[in-house]
Amino acid sequence: AFFWLVSLLLASLIWFVSVHLSDREDSKLQYGLLIFGAAVSVLLQEAFRFAYFKLLKKADEGLATLSEDGRSPISLRQMAYVSGLSFGIISGVFSVINILADSIGPGVVGIHGDSPYYFITSAFLTMALVLLHTFWGVIFFNACEKRRYGCLGLVVASHLLTSGLTFLNPWYEASLVPIFIITLGTGVWAFVTAGGSRHNILKCLSCK
C-alpha cells in the first residue's frame, strides 16, 4: 500500500507540475493532461510493483537463509497475493472513499446532466479494479520470478487498457462490460498461474 501511495504521489506530482506549466484555460489540453497523468500513474504503479517485488525477494532470501530448513515461512505466492491485494485495496479505497462519503450527504446524483448511475458504476468499477490489482499482483510476481517478460508486458498492457477503458465513461456499456471481461480473464489467468486447475476446484468443492 505504501508503495502504491508513493507511486501515486509521484504521478500526481508530475501531473501537478504539468498542469501548472500549461495553460489553465484550455480545457481540451487539461483533459489531455489528465489522460497523460493517468497513463503516467499506471506506468509508475507497475514500476513500483516491480520495486516491491525486488524488495520482497530480498527479504525472502533473508528469511530463507535464517530459517531452519532453508525455506522462508512465507511463500512467494502468498507474498504476491498479499501485495496485489494491498495495491488493490489502497487503490480502490482512494478511488471510492470520497464518493462514499459524499453519498451519505444530501444531494441528487447527476443533477447537472451527468449520469444518474454514477455511484453504482463507481462501486462496480472499484470492485473490478481491486480484483484486477490482486490478479495482476499474482501474475506479475510469477512472471518476474520465472522471468517471462512477455507476461509482464501483458500485465502492464492490460492495466493500461483498463485505465483507458475508464476514459470512455460515462458510456458505461463500452467501459464496464469490457472491464469485467478483462477481470474475469485475468482472474482465470491468475488462478492458473497460481497453480490451480479444474481438478483442484473439483477437489476443493467435493472434499469439503
Partner 1 sequence: MTELSAHLPQFQHGQLTENFPDNHLSNANDTNERRRHDNSERRRNDNPESETNGQPQNNIQQVVEQDEEDEELTLKYGAKHVIMLFVPVTLCMVVVVATIKSVSFYTRKDGQLIYTPFTEETETVGQRALNSILNAAIMISVIIVMTILLVVLYKYRCYKVIHGWLIISSLLLLFFFSFIYLGEVFKTYNVAMDYITVALIIWNFGVVGMICIHWKGPLRLQQAYLIMISALMALVFIKYLPEWTAWLILAVISVYDLVAVLCPKGPLRMLVEMAQERNETLFPALIYSSTMIWLVNMAEEDPEAQRKASKNSTYDKQAPANQTQNEDAEADDGGFSQEWQQQRDNRIGPIESTPELRAAVQALPSNSQTSEDPEERGVKLGLGDFIFYSVLVGKASATANGDWNTTLACFVAILIGLCLTLLLLAIFKKALPALPISITFGLVFYFATDNLVQPFMDQLAFHQFYI
Name the site residues for partner 1 (rule: CB under 8 A).
1-2, 5, 8-9, 11-13, 15-16, 19, 31, 34-35, 37-38, 41-42, 45, 62-63, 66-68, 73, 90-91, 93-95, 97-99, 101, 118, 121-122, 125-126, 129, 162-163, 166-167, 169-170
- Shortest distance in whole angstroms from residue 87 CB to partner 1: 12
Q: Which is nearer to partner 1, 101 or 108 (CB)?
A: 101
Nearest to 183 by CA among 140, 133, 130, 132: 132
What's the closest the beta carbon of residue 145 comes to partner 1, in angstroms?
Answer: 22
Least distance from partner 1 to the Cβ atom of residue 129, Å:
6
For residues 15 and 180, which CB has a smaller minimum distance to partner 1 in the complex?
Answer: 15
- State the residue for C-alpha cell 487539461: 30
Whether the link from the prior residue into 170 is cis, omega within 30° of 0, is yes
- CA dist 110 and 101 (Å) reads 16
Q: Are 143 and 151 in contact (CB under 8 A)?
A: yes
For residue 141, the minimal CB distance to partner 1 (Å) is: 20
DSSP-assigned states of every residue in 3-44: HHHHHHHHHHHHHHHHHHHS-SS-HHHHHHHHHHHHHHHHHH
Query: What whole-number distance in Å separates Cα of residue 14 and Cα of residue 6?
Result: 12
Q: Among residues 67 and 197, whose Cβ is nearest to partner 1?
A: 67
Which CB atom, from 13 or from 202, has the smaller least distance to partner 1?
Answer: 13
